[in-house]
Amino acid sequence: MDIDAVLFDMDGTLVDSDAAVERAWHVWSAEHGLDPEAVIAVAHGSPAERTIHRLLPHLDDAAVAASAARQLALQYDDLSDVTATAGARHLLATLDRLELPWAVVTSADTRLAKARLAAAGIDAPVLVTVDDVRAGKPDPEGYRHAADLLGVAPGRCLVVEDAAVGVAAGRAAGARTAGLKGVAADIPLRDLRDLTALLTS
């Protein structure tokens, strides 16, 4: 683990918000007459606008933006079962003890990211959201920007993700990658406790 920083995805990686995410997409899908399971299959890890553009290519940019805003609005106050993922708090404490800087890079907007991190009891020293980049995952801009904010070369970072589009973004940024939930990456992880063990071994 010869790295100088760790860059985390948020939903499904540091924050267990899968149920809230799926509830929002279910409501949004019903409003548009789409199969929610098919929608969720392509939505995971991607910005809402990118997902909606793929699903409803006939919409113009303004309509896509409005639809994405509606999808996010469904999530802002749905925090009752949002919590930190298994091993997240211990891992972050370990990073602080090892003096390894870390950041969160998410496809959520700033309002939603701050709400979910607060619900999970996580205070990110650096947060990069979809509001901070021109292109979301799988574009590497977010991870490169986070590395720059930490003052670390992307090639010296480990990107931790639970979605293929996020791993693709990390790799395109030049970082090493770790994958949760069976997502193919340089380092497979069952959960974040595995990463703590690797960092302290």
Active site residue 18: no
Active site residue 9: yes
Whether the CB-CB separation of 10 and 158 falls below 8 Å is answered with: no
> Stretch 58-79: mean pLDDT, rounded?
92
Question: What is the band of 91 on the pLDDT scale with cuts at 50, 70, 90?
Answer: very high
Lowest-confidence segment of 17-21, 41-45, 110-114, 181-185 by average pLDDT:
41-45
Q: Provide φ and ψ at 46, rounded to 5°.
A: -105, 155
At position 73, the amino acid (one-letter code) is A
pLDDT digits (tens, 9 = 90+) for 27-55: 999 999 999 999 998 887 788 888 999 99
Average pLDDT, the chain: 95
Tell me what pLDDT residue 95 has. 98
Question: What is the band of 197 on the pLDDT scale with cuts at 50, 70, 90?
Answer: very high
Tell me what pLDDT residue 43 has. 85
State the DSSP string of 56-88: -TTS-HHHHHHHHHHHHHTTTT--TT-EEPTTH
Tell me what pLDDT residue 42 has. 86
Domains, the chain: 5-17+82-200 (3.40.50.1000), 18-73 (no CATH)
Q: Which structure tokens are listed for 113? A: 């990211």
Active-site residue, selected from the candidate residues 2, 4, 9, 148: 9
Distance CA 186, CA 178 (A): 6
Distance CA 184, CA 129 (A): 23
pLDDT digits (tens, 9 = 90+) for 135-193: 989 999 999 999 999 999 999 999 999 999 999 999 999 999 999 999 999 999 999 99
Tell me if residue 158 falls in helix, strand or coil: strand
Whether residue 122 has pLDDT greater than 90: yes
Tell me what pLDDT residue 46 has. 80
Tell me what pLDDT residue 48 has. 87
Question: What is the band of 77 on the pLDDT scale with cuts at 50, 70, 90?
Answer: confident
Active-site residue, selected from the candidate residues 4, 11, 61, 162: 11
